[in-house]
Amino acid sequence: MIIGVLKEPSNETRVSLLPEAVIQLTKKGIRVLIENNAGARAFAPDEDYQNAGALISSAREIIQEADVILSIQQPNSDLLIPNNKILIGTFQPLYHPQSVQEWAQAGLTVFSLDMLPRTTRAQSMDVLSSQANIAGYKAVLLAANLYPRYFPMFMTAAGTIAPAKVLILGAGVAGLQAIATARRLGAVVEVFDTRPAVKEEVISLGAKFVEVDGAADASKAGGYAVEQTEEYKLRQQQRIAESIAKADIVITTAQIPGKKAPILIEEEMLNKMRKGSIVIDIAAKTGGNTPFTIDNETVIYKGVSIVGAGNLPATMPSDASKVYGKNIQNFLQLITNKEGNLNLNWDDDLVQGSCITHNGEIVHERLKMNVQ
């Protein structure tokens, strides 16, 4: 089998395989082609890939010769990938129904790893988790860097400094890592999530859980959040408003797959925040959790910095690519046999759950509903 790695678009610094992953794959007899300079922004020069056993190629050679093509973001549409190829990445198909139609028409077999079921068996290939972990960590460091005050409490001869108050909205993978990081820096942390199931984890990390009664039942949504009733949203807003007014830093991570991110911080809540306060909005890519969020930009609203941070993993390209590559290797193991040849088991829930198009058709249940 031949695997090809494409260079990412200019707004991306990560790469889907680092040389260390190439060594593992070539040991199994898999040939690896790397587009020239694909790893440069993740500090992996072509020379390192060559030393790992890969061949440096052009994008055109890769799409012709590779059986499996890897890229994190969607490849440039000018690159006409021939049919019968397998494309693996993190393509957010729920937000891109047009691309899904095009993949089916082009006869591509596309796996999007962000669609993998969030089960225990899928954990080792769960790209959302490996990257969200980085986002949560980096969100806190970014906030600490922008915040004009200390994070920890200090009692010094020059006076006493109160600890920063951090509010984290959404306690998924990113939110939990943000709690741990903010606590390590000495902040006092409060957390809100519509899923009451996360309360214990939040408390075990040393944060306080903000309670709002009456959330919609999300037990059948695979662990994801579901949309809430208007009555609940109103109560939630009132309760969050109280915490926001006291917070120095708010980290927002609330996302609902396939939908626009919910607005959790309304304008009047921002009006009550102290000047110099910081909002880091990890949900910026799907619209953001404030009305003013712009992805990849910092908007100053009445002295409050609102940072649109939709792709924080790209600010840590080495480790982000390392763990992403490990996820890919584990997924490749699922779809190949011991000899390193393709072996797609369509009865496997992970294969079914991540495959978007195959044999000229849209095969993923959620996407079929989306496109109709």
**Interface mask toward ligand NAD for 32-71; x: CB under 6 A:** ----------------------------------------
- Which among 6, 173, 147 has a CA at the least distance from the CA of 77? 6
CA 32, 38, 41, 43 dihedral sign is positive
Catalytic choice (58, 60, 105, 224): 224
Q: Which residues in the 248-307 window bind ligand NAD by CB under 6 A?
A: 253-256, 262, 264
Nearer Cβ to ligand NAD (87/132): 132
Distance CA(118)–CA(124), nearest Å, equals 10
Q: Is 30 in the site for ligand NAD (CB under 6 A)?
A: no
Please state the closest distance from residue 172 (CB atom) to ligand NAD, in A.
2
Q: Is 190 in the site for ligand NAD (CB under 6 A)?
A: no
Q: Where are the beta strands (DSSP E) in the chain?
A: 2-5, 31-35, 55-57, 68-70, 86-89, 109-112, 154-156, 159-161, 165-169, 188-192, 208-209, 249-252, 278-281, 298-301, 304-308, 355-358, 361-362
Which residue sits closest to ligand NAD, CB atoms considered? 172
Residue 169 φ then ψ, to 5°: -105, 110
Q: Which residues in the 212-231 window bind ligand NAD by CB under 6 A?
A: 223-225
Exposed, middle or buried, 17 (CB in 10 Å: 0-12/13-18/19+)? Answer: buried
Please state the closest distance from residue 71 (CB atom) to ligand NAD, in A.
21
Q: Which residues in the 103-162 window bind ligand NAD by CB under 6 A?
A: 118-120, 122-123, 126, 128-129, 132
Count of residues in the chain: 372
- Residue 354 annotated as catalytic: no
- Residue 224 annotated as catalytic: yes
Q: Is 194 in the site for ligand NAD (CB under 6 A)?
A: yes
- Residue 149 annotated as catalytic: no
Q: For 110-132, give one letter per residue: b (16+ CB within 10 A) or e.
A: bbbbbbbeeeeebeebbbbbbbb
- Residue 126 annotated as catalytic: yes
Please state the closest distance from residue 168 (CB atom) to ligand NAD, in A.
9
Please state the closest distance from residue 1 (CB atom) to ligand NAD, in A.
27
- Residue 129 annotated as catalytic: yes
Distance CA(134)–CA(104), nearest Å, equals 33
Catalytic machinery residues: 118, 123, 126, 129, 224
Residues lying near ligand NAD in the complex (CB under 6 A) are found at 118-120, 122-123, 126, 128-129, 132, 169-175, 192-195, 223-225, 253-256, 262, 264
